[in-house]
Amino acid sequence: MSLPRIAVDAMGGDEGVRVMVEGAALARRKHEGFNFLLVGDGKRIEAALANHPNMRGASEILHCEDVVGGDELPSRAIRRAKTTSMGLAVNAVKTGDAGAAVSAGNTGALMAMSKIALRTMPGIDRPALAAIMPTLQAHDVVMLDLGANTEADARNGSSTASKSRSSAC
């Protein structure tokens, strides 16, 4: 079974290309079916791929020089979404060129771009953040909604809790 391609904002995060390509390579080692669309500065991505031969046949590069800054306002980033590595990674999901997008960049910008470009599923009002929490057991735990909502009413709180419980089963 071939897993969907993952669009990676290779320019996002404090460490940028090197760390994002290393993360993709780690995922590829754990799941051979993963394929990637690496979005960002093509020369820098090529240089990072040189250290990860397992990624050559599993990756496509989409060159893009424009990057969302870590302190950039989400409203400004949204206006530039069509020219940024983050925006192009999210757009790849919208167009069906990827099944998921990953970025370690500006969280507010990613949430805003994703909500506008991809919309939310029926019954879901707003996106949520998830993080992997390590455990002493064989499998880690995914914790949902780590601060994405600064204001939550009873409807948001109860629907999030019930979805979390049902997905953890």
- Output the domain CATH number for residue 52: 3.40.718.10
**What is the model's pLDDT at position 143?**
85
Residue 125 lies in a domain: no
pTM for the model: 0.81
For residue 9, the surrounding DSSP H or E stretch is strand 5-9
Task: Specify whether 26 is located in the same domain as 57.
Answer: yes
Residues 14 and 88 in one domain: yes
Give the N- to C-terminal CA distance of the chain in Å, as an integer: 24
Q: Give the residues of the chain that fall short of pLDDT 50.
A: 1, 158-169
pLDDT of res. 157:
55
Verify that 101 and 45 share a domain, yes or no. Answer: yes
Hey, is 30 helix, strand or coil? helix
Domain containing 155 equals 130-168
- Given this model, what pLDDT does residue 149 score? 57
pLDDT at 99: 94
Q: What is the pLDDT of residue 155?
A: 63
